[in-house]
Amino acid sequence: MAEDTVEITQKDQVPAQAGEPTYEGAYFTPAVDIYETVNEIVLLADMPGVEADNLDVDLNDDELIIVGRVNAVDDEGAELLSEYRVGNYYRNFRISDVVDRRSISASLSDGVLKIVLPKAAKAVPRKIPISVG
């Protein structure tokens, strides 16, 4: 394919002013997909290298905060090529009233975090049956 420029899939570092809690090490912004179905909003985040034990998903008021820490440090041998940096992940989202906060669930598989935010009953479209009188 004749392309004059090739974009590099980079990890974006979290800006220092983002109001993140101070932890050791570099923080990156994970790439995120958000989609909405009839009953729920689903959030998927790429967080390679994060184990379930090192992942925190917190909901404070309207703010959903995702923090993933990467423990594995490769320091075996000498570095020949370094195209990406290994680090932790941080991202926050604002949750609207549409979401039923009590039943949010999260799962992690192969470095992808999936958060399911079910819609509150009032936000789910409902067809009202008409009874014939």
Under the rule (CB under 8 A), what is the footprint of other proteins?
A: 1-9, 12, 29, 31-38, 41-42, 44, 46-51, 72, 74, 76-84, 86, 109-112
Centre a 10 Å sphere on the Cβ of residue 119 and count the other Cβ atoms it contains. 19
Give the number of other Cβ atoms within 10 Å of residue 132's Cβ: 3
Closer of 22 and 100 to other proteins (Cβ): 100
Nearest distance in Å: CB 35, other proteins: 5
**Least distance (Å) from other proteins to the CB of residue 123?**
15
Using DSSP bridges, classify how beta strands 105-109 and 112-118 pair: parallel, antiparallel or unpaired.
Answer: antiparallel
Of 71 and 105, the one with the shorter C-beta distance to other proteins is 71
Calculate ∠ Cα 56-60-61, nearest 5°.
Answer: 155
- Between 3 and 22, CB nearer to other proteins: 3
Q: Are 90 and 20 in contact (CB under 8 A)?
A: yes
Taking the complex as a whole, how short is the minimal distance between the CB of residue 131 and other proteins, in angstroms? Answer: 27
Closest separation between CB of residue 126 and other proteins, Å?
15
Quick one: 1 or 132, whose CB is closer to other proteins? 1
Query: Closest by alpha carbon to 51, among 105, 104, 113?
Result: 113
- Residue 106, class by beta-carbon neighbours within 10 Å (0-12 exposed, 13-18 middle, 19+ buried)? middle
Residue type, 6: V
